[in-house]
Amino acid sequence: MKVSDILRVKGHVLFTVPPEARLLQAVQTMAQHDIGSLVVMAHGKLVGLLTFSEVMAAVAEGEGVLGDHIVAERMDTHYEVCGPETTLDTLRRTMLEAGVRYIPVMQDDALLGVISFHDVAQAVVREQDFENQMLKAYIRDWPEDEGQPETAGAPMPASTPARS
């Protein structure tokens, strides 16, 4: 499975915010849409990610108050990216090794979407469910061996002693 397959199922809806937006506005957007990240765009280009982690750090530092902070002050500008042809296994490894929950999907300079760790987990479950169904169907339709008698599974008659 590839990233493009995950995006096809997930869809291409992106929630963006400009870097000069107030952090509170970004948090309200995240809460309204029940999402854990926003893509920060400036002049049509990806310039950062704002995730739940950055928001929580700002809340902790402000002792519960976001104040007048703007997104640019809190966004992550050092993020991993992947392409649509990236495999699910490579994506999982990248996320685990980099310790990230969100990865933008880029093709050339175009942003195609953002894949979350949750999206990856869903894709893995779907893939495993499909494989399990295929294996169960294969086992259920297992052909009988040609060398077996047709009474396979029936008890064998007791052997009689040989006469001398």
CA distance 36 to 51: 6
Provide the token pair at 90. 């490579």
Q: What is the pLDDT of residues 47-99, one digit of tens each?
A: 999 999 999 999 998 888 888 899 999 999 998 999 999 999 999 999 999 99
pLDDT of residue 149: 54
The H-or-E segment that residue 134 falls in is helix 117-140
pTM, entire model: 0.73
Whether residue 58 contacts residue 123, with contact meaning beta carbons closer than 8 Å, is answered with no
CA distance 147 to 113: 55
The type of residue at 149 is P
- Domain limits, the chain: 3-123
Q: What is the pLDDT of residues 8-46, one digit of tens each?
A: 888 778 899 999 999 999 999 999 999 999 999 999 999
pLDDT of residue 150: 53
Provide the token pair at 28. 């309200």
CATH of domain 3-123: 3.10.580.10
